[in-house]
Amino acid sequence: MCSLIGQPVKRVEDRRFITGKGRYTDDIVLPNMTYAYIIRSPYAHAKILKIDVSKAIAMEGVVAVYTGEDIAKAGINGVPCGWQVNFNTGETMKEPPHPLLVKDKVLHVGDSVAVVIAETREISVDASEMIEIDYEELPCVTDPLKAIQKGAPLVHDIAPENKCFVWELGDRQKTDDHIAKAHHVTTLEFINQRMIPNAIEPRAAIGDYDATNEKHTLYTSSQNPHLIRLLMCAFVLGLPEHKVRVVAPDVGGGFGSKIFHYTEEALVTWASRQLGRPVKWTAERSESFITDAHGRDHVTKAEMGFDKDGMIVALRVRTAANLGAYLSTFSTAVPTYLHGTLLQGLYTTPAIHVEVNGVFTHTNAVDAYRGAGRPEATYVLERLVETGARELGIDPAELRFKNFIPPFDGVTQPGYQTQVALQYDSGNYHAVLERALEMIDYKNFRKEQAEARKQGKFLGIGFSTYIEACGIAPSAVVGSLGARAGLFESAQVRIQPTGKVSVYTGSHSHGQGHETTFAQVVADKFGISMNDVEIVHGDSDSVAFGMGTYGSRSLAVGGSAIVKSIEKVLQKGAKIAAHKLEAAEADLEFANGKWTVKGTDKSIGFADIALTAYVPHDYPQGLEPGLDFSSFYDPTNFTYPYGAHIAVVEVDVETGKTTLKRFVACDDVGNVINPMIVDGQIHGGVVQGIGQALFEEAVYDDHGQLITGSYMDYTMPRADDIPMFEVDRKVTPCPHNPLGVKGAGEAGTIGSAPAVVNAVLDALSSFNIKDINMPLTPQKVWKAIHGK
């Protein structure tokens, strides 16, 4: 039997999706169900003077209306933040409450004020219009730099100057010294704009309370049902976990935005108990725009010092990170531990210092969005390197090669200790760039570019060589950095008596194809057919525990937990096999689904051992029956995928429009289980980066209104904006997890945006334009060219 590992196996889960049989949260209809509609603030900052719900309650079909007053009276806490990032002075992070429904003061457009629950969705919406709310509008601030100026409107009284924390990492003095002495310093000041994740399935949640056994069930479009259960039970509603089941059924994309514990989840769970009926809430897209946690939103000044040979000698970064009005679950970790720690990039820079102001504003919360902090770090580095190359007159590829960390495998050579806390696991950074240059045919491209220029065509090429920290990560390490959760993963491998295998994983698939990739691993290790393996995920009643899927961690952490359980099964199986074959355990070998006495034709198959384990008549003395093992895997380090992305663009200087001609990516994500799925992850990730580079931007006006609050205003990348991709990979196995995998979910997004921006600026090199803020819309590019 040939190995299933490394094969582009077609996906197991596809059949239900292509036939319309997927089961997403909003598809679920429970008997006697009610429908919730949430009334949201139209103001960015306002006092609630009066709420009159009497007309709504009197309407036929309205079941209940709850306001912030009711939530406060019930003694319900707000949703918590999961990561504590303190001030560099040691002062504790400012952590304001985030109530399920606001009682006194709304803090952003979209803040939840009241909920109407009715017999039908239509009645809930109709009734919401009968609720009268008097607001007194207050001054607001949406820009993080303005928010930290003296006299700016305060979002929370507990946070002077709107600062949640001021965080730093690296050696300030050494960095300042190196910058001061540098031969050349490249400086960029830019905005890494706010993004809206836009999973195509809007968020939805159903609370279902069963009074007969006091059990709560929450169906929710979430990336990590167990964490939602933990946070909701322990911090919000004070429910006993064994009486709460959280199910994340099919989930229509997440990209980070469905990691977090949202107020609506606790609200429908609580309301269902009040009413004794199921309560469903489904976001309208316009609600998703103003309430799904946003991404990025950094205002950054970054300086890179070079010596006369083009070696990077220092990097200094100052960022104001907009956190929004409330602290979403992982919001504080994103601009700090997921951003500052990646500023080494692929380079040997000897001095790095980063300081981040975490800032409250009257905007929707910002949290992890595909890449989460690492795209921001990569953007800083890759724009600086490319700008520096242009300023120094050195080829941008050559400048990178000169500064790359030399290859190391992490086994015979140690990991690479960065200036910013991390230790990279293994890498050969030259190899990915060399391959990407070969794919794009760099030498000939420069000739083609020069030819095109003569004909009035502006072609440009841009590079990005990135690294990311994935598979997050050792619980003790993240705990010491302020995480309030462990970041291990669990897996149970249950061998059924007939030799079929059920695997219960705490990872959650919302497009990543776990039901296929994990089954490949299991089938391969046991030497059985993939048809005999079922992957179960997303239900806290089936799966013992889980930390969910984000940070490209599923295979590296969740897959490793599965491998641990597989090993336990095989160890016990060997004991049973030795007994049956009347041989010593040491004389057995397991391959192709059977245990064989070495050097003989005596063997026994996996299914026979499974049956023996459950029908233990002829069985090793003292051994427990059954073949069913659980494991928890806590990694010893992050994993560090990396790669080289190259974009080729043509800019129409008359209109400012950028056309993406080619996009080449050579990534190293460690070992690959299913190359088809990995390529798909790269393609999708790359387009989210291209979206940021060219199209997407969340814009708040000065009154705190999100003026890009619909698909009519927020530009999503469409099929006809994008070329076919050219992807390849190198493989440097991760030395510290059993599969040697590093993670592929975020690579595309992290690498692609700076490549595209660098390419546009390369195309426009004759116009002497140093920078254009993303997204590089035709208007902005045209203005940059024509100086207006």
Partner 1 sequence: MNLSIQVEVNGKKHKSNVEARQLLVYYLRDQLRLTGTHIGCDTSSCGSCTVIVDGKAIKSCTMLAAQVDGSSIKTIEGLAGNGEMHPVQEGFREEHGLQCGFCTPGMIMTAVDLLERNPTPTEMDIRHALEGNFCRCTGYHNIVKAVQYAADKMGKEVAHV
Rule CB under 8 A: which residues touch partner 1?
10-11, 13-24, 26-27, 29, 122, 198-202, 250-253, 255, 284-286, 510-513, 676-677, 679-680, 683-688, 710-712, 716-720, 722, 724-725, 748
| All residues at 6 or more sequence positions from 54 whose CB lies less than 8 Å from its CB, including other chains | none
Distance of closest approach, residue 288 Cβ to partner 1, in angstroms: 9
Residue from 92, 169, 147 nearest 338 by CA: 169
Distance of closest approach, residue 17 Cβ to partner 1, in angstroms: 3
741 burial class (0-12, 13-18, 19+ CB within 10 angstroms)? buried
C-alpha to C-alpha distances, 153 to 97, 135, 360, 776, nearest whole angstrom:
18, 17, 10, 31
Please say whether the beta carbons of 156 and 147 come within 8 A: no
Distance of closest approach, residue 132 Cβ to partner 1, in angstroms: 24
| Residue entry with tokens 């064989």 | 596
Q: Rounded to whole angstroms, how far apart are CA atoms 111 and 326? A: 10
| All residues at 6 or more sequence positions from 66 whose CB lies less than 8 Å from its CB, including other chains | 101, 114, 115, 117, 271, 274
| All residues at 6 or more sequence positions from 641 whose CB lies less than 8 Å from its CB, including other chains | 467, 468, 470, 552, 667, 668, 669, 670, 742, 743, 744, 747
Residue from 519, 510, 578 nearest 548 by CA: 510
Distance of closest approach, residue 254 Cβ to partner 1, in angstroms: 8
- Determine how many CB atoms are found less than 10 A away from the CB of residue 190: 18
Return the number of the residue (137 or 728) whose C-beta is nearest partner 1. 728
Q: Rounded to whole angstroms, how far apart are CA atoms 784 and 767? A: 9
Return the number of the residue (199 or 493) whose C-beta is nearest partner 1. 199
The separation between CA 455 and the C-alpha centre of its own chain, rounded to angstroms, equals 43
Amino acid of residue 149: Q
Return the number of the residue (68 or 641) whose C-beta is nearest partner 1. 641
Return the number of the residue (12 or 244) whose C-beta is nearest partner 1. 12
Distance of closest approach, residue 573 Cβ to partner 1, in angstroms: 34
Return the number of the residue (20 or 31) whose C-beta is nearest partner 1. 20
- Determine how many CB atoms are found less than 10 A away from the CB of residue 712: 7
Distance of closest approach, residue 122 Cβ to partner 1, in angstroms: 7
Distance of closest approach, residue 563 Cβ to partner 1, in angstroms: 24
Distance of closest approach, residue 514 Cβ to partner 1, in angstroms: 11
Return the number of the residue (78 or 252) whose C-beta is nearest partner 1. 252
Return the number of the residue (303 or 746) whose C-beta is nearest partner 1. 746
SS (H, E, C) 557-609: HHHHHHHHHHHHHHHHHHHHHHHHHCCCHHHEEEECCEEEECCCCCEEEHHHH
C-alpha to C-alpha distances, 233 to 133, 230, 243, 275, 490, nearest whole angstrom:
31, 5, 9, 19, 20
Distance of closest approach, residue 331 Cβ to partner 1, in angstroms: 21
Q: Rounded to whole angstroms, how far apart are CA atoms 499 and 534? A: 12
Q: What is the largest CA-CA distance in the chain?
A: 87
Distance of closest approach, residue 751 Cβ to partner 1, in angstroms: 13
Return the number of the residue (320 or 368) whose C-beta is nearest partner 1. 368
Please say whether the beta carbons of 357 and 110 come within 8 A: no
Distance of closest approach, residue 75 Cβ to partner 1, in angstroms: 35
Return the number of the residue (361 or 549) whose C-beta is nearest partner 1. 549
Return the number of the residue (374 or 510) whose C-beta is nearest partner 1. 510
Q: Rounded to whole angstroms, how far apart are CA atoms 737 and 469? A: 14
Return the number of the residue (16 or 446) whose C-beta is nearest partner 1. 16
Return the number of the residue (526 or 663) whose C-beta is nearest partner 1. 663
Distance of closest approach, residue 740 Cβ to partner 1, in angstroms: 23
